[in-house]
Structure 1
Amino acid sequence: MADRSRADLDFYAESVRDVWYADRPLADAVERVRLLERFPELRPNEEGITDVADTYAFFAVLGLRHALPAHGSGNADDAVSCGHAALTAMGMLDQNVAGAALLAEERRLQSLSLGGDAAGLREASVTAGRERFRVVLGRLPRRACS
């Protein structure tokens, strides 16, 4: 997702927004997964993922790929897959950023979501997401402006 000219960024952003509306079933969740699976981040090439930005983009798309089927399905396997993708991404970030505690925060948020009292969960997740984005931006190589 590093190429800002990509048309699928709007689709990605809309889908992330829509999974937060747990009371609104996603009738097109299967179609959205099919479209996400066409993203280059989920289509390996011979070189694999070698760029820092591509690595984080891969985890972002993978997380949404698992969140869509988990949304409203009631299927525990879908929820576990989604949670596992998020934990893996945060664990990787923690390994690459000195002093980061992103994995612990993701575990806390997942525990809150399972606890039955989701009050404030969206706000806490947005705050955590902003921090994660800041950390990822800090990991990206600086490019000279032309």
Structure 2
Amino acid sequence: MSDSADRARLLDRFPEPQPTEDGITDLVGTYTFFACLVLRHALLANASGGADHAVSCGHAELTAMGMLDQNIAGAAFRAEEQRLQRLSASGNAAGAWDTSVRAGWERLRAVVSRIVTEAR
């Protein structure tokens, strides 16, 4: 079993993907659930090389970014994610890694800011 598959199995032990009686009802839980879901699909895509997990990863990421856009005025994270996914799928992904890393940091800052604002 590949390292990625092992990591996906370990991720399944995290509390975020575990079903609960009440479901996910809080802000932090929602964002951490989507982070775990995207990471799980990315790890499985890496382990299998299959398109199914990659498509699931992309769908989960677009859903999470759409939710973030709905909760942050003027945000366009979903559109940026669509652009990055198209770039990645085009085979012309020059610079996609650096762009994705920058986008990831922007998204993390936005989520942390949203959580801090909600906590006030």
Using structure 2 for the length normalisation, give the TM-score.
Answer: 0.90
Q: Count the aligned residue pairs.
A: 119
Matched residues in 2 for 1:55 and 1:41: separation? 9
Query: Residue 114 in 1 paired to residue 82 in 2?
Result: no
**Counterpart code for 2:4:** A
In 2, Cα distance between the equivalents of 1:120 and 1:47? 42
CA–CA separation in structure 1 for the residues paired with 2:10 and 2:80: 30
2:26 counterpart of 1:51: yes
Amino acid at match of 2:87: L
Partner AA of 2:36 in structure 1: V
Q: 1:80 aligns with which of 29, 48, 55?
A: 55
- Within 5 Å, give how 1:1-146 maps onto structure 2: 27-71=2-46, 73-141=48-116
Tell me how large the CA RMSD over aligned residues is.
Answer: 1.7
Higher helix share: 2
> In structure 1, how many angstroms separate the alpha carbons of the residues matched to 2:102 and 2:113?
17
**Matching residue's letter, 2:37:** L
Q: What is the DSSP-based 3-state SS (H/G/I as helix, E as strand, rest coil) of the residue aligned with 2:16?
A: helix
Supply the distance in 1 between the matched residues of 2:86 and 2:43 (Cα, whole angstroms). 20
- Distance apart, 1:72 and its partner CA: 5.5
Q: CA offset at residue 119 of structure 1?
A: 1.2
Consecutive unaligned residues of structure 2, counting only runs of 5 or more, are none
Query: Which sections of structure 1, spanning at least 5 residues, go unmatched?
Result: 1-25
**Residues 51 and 111 of structure 1: CA distance in aligned 2, closer, same or farther (over 3 Å):** same
Aligned residue number for residue 21 of structure 1: none
